[in-house]
C-alpha cells in the first residue's frame, strides 16, 4: 500500500491520505478583505483534486495584518458571510477536509500584489498603511519602518486571532493553521534578527517565544477540541545569527505542550540576506528533525513535485504528510496522477468518473460521493 495514500490523524482530524494543499495567497479579495468569485473558482477547483486537506490562503486577522490590500480577511462577521458560500459549495461536492491559515503580516504588510511588482506601499500612498512589528526595524533598506507594538497593540492582535478562529469554526472548517513563518508577525517575534525588544517579549529564546505561544494558547482555547489546530513555522532564517532549527525544535516542543496537533515546516522569508539552497525537498530535513525530536505530526513542504519523491519522504519517516502549492496550481489533478503512478485510489466527484483511463479503471474510490 502506498504511504502517500494511507490515512492519518492530525489530532482529532482523520484524513484519507497524506497530501495537503498548502496555503497559497491569491491577492484577489475585493480590497477590503472580502472573498470574491475568484475564491469560489480557485478553491472549488482545488477541492476536487483528491487531496486529503485543503488549507485556505493566509487570511488576515486585522486590516493592517494583510500582506497586500487585496488579501483575504476574517476580522469581521461580514468577512465570514462573504466566504461562507464558497465553503458551503465545497461541502456539497467534495469530501476534502478544509482548514484556514490565520495570519498577520507584521512589517511585511502594505505590499503591492506580486504581478504589480510586490513592493511595499508607503503609508502615505493610496492602498498603503502603517505597518507594525515587534521592533521598529524595516524588512529591507528602502522599506517603511514599522511601529513597535506596545502591550495594547499586542493584545488587540491576539484578540483578532481569537475572533478569527471562532469565525473559522462557525464556518464549519476542520482545522486552523497559525502562521508563524515567512517573516510575518509571529516569526518576527521569534527571530533575534527582527526582535530587538528589551521587555519580557525580547532577548532570550524563552522571551521571544512568549507572544507566539500566548497567541497559540488563546486560539486553541477559543475553538472546540474536535477542531485541529497547528502551526506553520520557518525552521531557519538562512541567515547567520538568526532563527534556526535548534530553536524551532524547542518552539515545537512548547507548542506540543499546549495541544498543537501538527507543525507545517517551511523556512526563510524573514530577511533579504537569506541564502537558501533551493533544491527539491530542501526543507524536508527540518521536518524530519522536528518530527523526531518534538514528537508530533509534521507536514513537509518545498519543491515536492513528483509522486515517487513524496512517497520516499513518507517511507523514510522524514514527515507525516507532504504539502504542495505551486505544483497543485500547475497540475490541479496531481493527486489523481500520483495515485495512478503508485497504484492507489483517490476520491473524485462522480461527474468525473468517466474520465478514468482504461489502464487505471480502479483509480477512483466510487464509494465516496458528493454530500
Catalytic residues: 184
CA distance 255 to 43: 29
Q: Measured between alpha carbons, how far is 237 from 81 in angstroms, rounded to an integer?
A: 37
CA-nearest of 269, 256, 347 to 302 is 269
Under 8 Å between Cβ of 74 and 80: yes
**Terminal C-alpha separation, the chain:** 27
**Distance set, CA 134 to CA 39, 137, 138 (Å):** 32, 9, 11
SS3 86: helix
**What are the CA-CA distances from residue 252 to residues 178, 235, 297, 345 (Å)?**
13, 10, 11, 33
H helices within 23-150, ranges in order?
A: 37-47, 77-93
Q: Which string of DSSP letters, residue by residue, matches 233-295?
A: EES--SSTTS--HHHHHHHHHHHHHTT---EEEE---S-TT------TTTTHHHHHHHHHHH-
Residue 371's alpha-carbon distances to 207, 249, 348, 368, in angstroms, are 47, 40, 12, 9
Instruction: Give the residues across from 118 on adjacent strands.
Output: none
d(CA 27, CA 371): 30
As beta bridge partners, residue 100 has: 56, 176
Amino acid at each position: 500500500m502506498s504511504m502517500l495514500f494511507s490515512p492519518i490523524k492530525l489530532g482529532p482530524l482523520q484524513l484519507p491520505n497524506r497530501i495537503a494543499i498548502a496555503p497559497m495567497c491569491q491577492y484577489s479579495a475585493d480590497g477590503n478583505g472580502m472573498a470574491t468569485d475568484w475564491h469560489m473558482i480557485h478553491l472549488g477547483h482545488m477541492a476536487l483534486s483528491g487531496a486529503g486537506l485543503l488549507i485556505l490562503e493566509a487570511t488576515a486577522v486585522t486590516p493592517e495584518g494583510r500582506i497586500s490590500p487585496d488579501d483575504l480577511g476574517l476580522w469581521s462577521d461580514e468577512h465570514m458571510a462573504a466566504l461562507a458560500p464558497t465553503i458551503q459549495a465545497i461541502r456539497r461536492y467534495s469530501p476534502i477536509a478544509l482548514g484556514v491559515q490565520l495570519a498577520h503580516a507584521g512589517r511585511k504588510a502594505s505590499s503591492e500584489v506580486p504581478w504589480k511588482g510586490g513592493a511595499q506601499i508607503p503609508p502615505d500612498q493610496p492602498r498603503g498603511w502603517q505597518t507594525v512589528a515587534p521592533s521598529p526595524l524595516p524588512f529591507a533598506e528602502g522599506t517603511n519602518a514599522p511601529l513597535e507594538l506596545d502591550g495594547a497593540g499586542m493584545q488587540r492582535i491576539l484578540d483578532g486571532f481569537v475572533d478569527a478562529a471562532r469565525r473559522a469554526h462557525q464556518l464549519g472548517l476542520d482545522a486552523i493553521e497559525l502562521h508563524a513563518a515567512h517573516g510575518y508577525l509571529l516569526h518576527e517575534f521569534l527571530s533575534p534578527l527582527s526582535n530587538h525588544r528589551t521587555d519580557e517579549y525580547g532577548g532570550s529564546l524563552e522571551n521571544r517565544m512568549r507572544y507566539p505561544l500566548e497567541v497559540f494558547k488563546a486560539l486553541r482555547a477559543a475553538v472546540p477540541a474536535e477542531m485541529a489546530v497547528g502551526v506553520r513555522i520557518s525552521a531557519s532564517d538562512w541567515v547567520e545569527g538568526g532563527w534556526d532549527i535548534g530553536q524551532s525544535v524547542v518552539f515545537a516542543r512548547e507548542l506540543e505542550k499546549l495541544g498543537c496537533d501538527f507543525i507545517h515546516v517551511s523556512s526563510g522569508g524573514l530577511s533579504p540576506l537569506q541564502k537558501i539552497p533551493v533544491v527539491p525537498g530542501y526543507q524536508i530535513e527540518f521536518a524530519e528533525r522536528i518530527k523526531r525530536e518534538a514528537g508530533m505530526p509534521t507536514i513537509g513542504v518545498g519543491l515536492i513535485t513528483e509522486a515517487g519523491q513524496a512517497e520516499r519522504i513518507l517511507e523514510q519517516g522524514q514527515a507525516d504528510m507532504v504539502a504542495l502549492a505551486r505544483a497543485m496550481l500547475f497540475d490541479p489533478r496531481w493527486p489523481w496522477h500520483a495515485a495512478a503512478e503508485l497504484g492507489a485510489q483517490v476520491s473524485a466527484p462522480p461527474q468525473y468518473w468517466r474520465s478514468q483511463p482504461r489502464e487505471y479503471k480502479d483509480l477512483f474510490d466510487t464509494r465516496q460521493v458528493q454530500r
